[in-house]
């Protein structure tokens, strides 16, 4: 895939500028520059090159190298399955697909074992994967078995006709019963592994509704119209209500001794990619999440 970018504002480093434009990590972009896959005015430049107004940057994303991804007999909680799609209740702590040095223990390894066919549209790294959840976010994730199903689901996510509902436990109390955060998100300029609210970022809309109040904590029902990386975690942290257990976007330890955010993809509503029937799938909260709520309710 080749993408051309015309620079309108001068002064930023080449690696940082491109990383923001193509939504990749700065490390990944730096490697692409060093390997000659990113050119400025058809010339190779250093990662520290300061872009100038009018520069034409050509980015070539090389085809992924074929990996020998092993099938693994990892237990899956399959919520729904037919000839074209499946819905998995992904556990907290599971990475969705192989990347870098991580080639085992992922959801993809498990999918290859449990299903005879998976869509190949996303290549060898992500067979069947239509969308993603963070490693420590649990809940519903759709899988495409056929290319036709994959294309349809992908379009539904792009057109924002898929309804996504999450349950989250956040720090702090809310005076209001509902609200929304409409703020753009981009990669954090100081830490490329994080995302942040940034006026130059991509638009992101998160709406929330209080389900239950626990004094220092609040249980929320959250709907996202957009699907930006770490969107809920970033927006909640920005309004001073970081998710309980989120070690990346909150400070200090939590009283429950857990690591990884209490965030669960509870419901997905979409059109079946083949029949067109409107479907609504739900997944119950994991035991750890329920245990924390039980403790709060008992207090």
Annotated active-site residue in 15, 20, 84, 134: 134
46: CATH: 3.10.290.10
Average pLDDT of 282-286? 97
127: CATH: 3.30.2350.10
Final residue of a domain: which of 141, 159, 177? 159
Residues 254 and 180 in one domain: yes
Q: Is it the case that residue 133 has pLDDT exceeding 70? A: yes
Active-site residue, 134 included? yes
Final residue of a domain: which of 60, 83, 103? 60
Average pLDDT of 23-29? 73
Residues 100 and 140 in one domain: yes
Percent of the chain with pLDDT over 70: 96
Average pLDDT of 27-43? 89
Which range of residues forms the domain containing residue 204? 165-264+291-298
Q: Does residue 23 form part of some domain?
A: yes
Residue closest to 144 by CA, chosen among 272, 267, 269, 264? 272
Q: Does residue 254 form part of some domain?
A: yes
Between the CA of residue 215 and those of 88, 175, 295, what are the distances in Å?
A: 33, 11, 13
Q: How many domains does the chain have?
A: 3
What is the structure's pLDDT at 80? 98
Q: Which of the two residues, 2 and 127, has the higher pLDDT score?
A: 127
Q: Is it the case that residue 62 has pLDDT exceeding 80? A: no
Average pLDDT of 78-93? 97
Q: Does residue 175 form part of some domain?
A: yes
What is the structure's pLDDT at 229? 92
> pLDDT per residue over 203-260, tens digit each?
999 999 999 999 999 999 999 988 899 999 999 999 999 999 999 998 867 889 898 9
**What's the chain's average pLDDT?**
92
Length of the chain: 299
Distance of CA 48 to the CA centre of its chain: 29
Q: Does residue 270 form part of some domain?
A: no
Average pLDDT of 151-179? 95
pLDDT band with cut points at 50, 70 and 90 for residue 29: confident
Q: Does residue 284 form part of some domain?
A: no
Final residue of a domain: which of 31, 60, 89? 60
> pLDDT per residue over 285-297, tens digit each?
999 999 999 999 9
Q: Does residue 149 form part of some domain?
A: yes
């Amino acid at each position: 895939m080749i993408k051309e970018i015309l620079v309108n504002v001068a002064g930023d480093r080449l690696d940082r500028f491109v990383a923001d434009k193509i939504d990749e990590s700065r490390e990944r972009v730096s490697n692409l520059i060093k390997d000659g896959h990113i050119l400025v005015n058809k010339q190779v430049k250093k990662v520290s090159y300061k872009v100038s107004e009018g520069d034409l940057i050509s980015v070539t994303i090389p085809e992924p190298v074929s990996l020998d991804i092993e099938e693994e007999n990892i237990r899956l909680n399959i919520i729904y399955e037919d000839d074209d799609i499946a819905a998995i209740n992904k556990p907290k702590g599971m990475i969705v697909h192989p990347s870098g040095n991580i080639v085992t223990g992922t959801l993809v390894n498990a999918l290859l074992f449990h299903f005879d066919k998976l869509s190949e549209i996303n290549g060898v790294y992500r067979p069947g994967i239509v969308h993603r959840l963070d490693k420590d976010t649990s809940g519903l994730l759709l899988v495409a078995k056929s290319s036709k199903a994959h294309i349809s689901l992908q379009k539904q996510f792009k057109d924002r006709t898929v309804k996504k509902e999450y349950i989250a436990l956040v720090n702090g109390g809310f005076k209001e019963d509902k609200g929304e955060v409409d703020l753009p998100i981009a990669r954090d300029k100081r830490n490329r592994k994080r995302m942040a609210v940034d006026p130059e970022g991509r638009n992101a809309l998160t709406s929330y509704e209080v389900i239950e109040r626990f004094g220092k904590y609040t249980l929320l029902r959250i709907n996202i119209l957009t699907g930006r990386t770490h969107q809920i975690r970033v927006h909640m942290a920005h309004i001073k209500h970081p998710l309980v257990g989120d070690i990346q976007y909150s400070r200090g330890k939590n009283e429950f001794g857990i690591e990884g955010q209490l965030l669960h993809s509870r419901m997905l509503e979409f059109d079946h990619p083949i029949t067109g029937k409107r479907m609504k799938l739900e997944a119950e909260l994991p035991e750890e999440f329920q245990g924390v709520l039980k403790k709060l309710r008992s207090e």
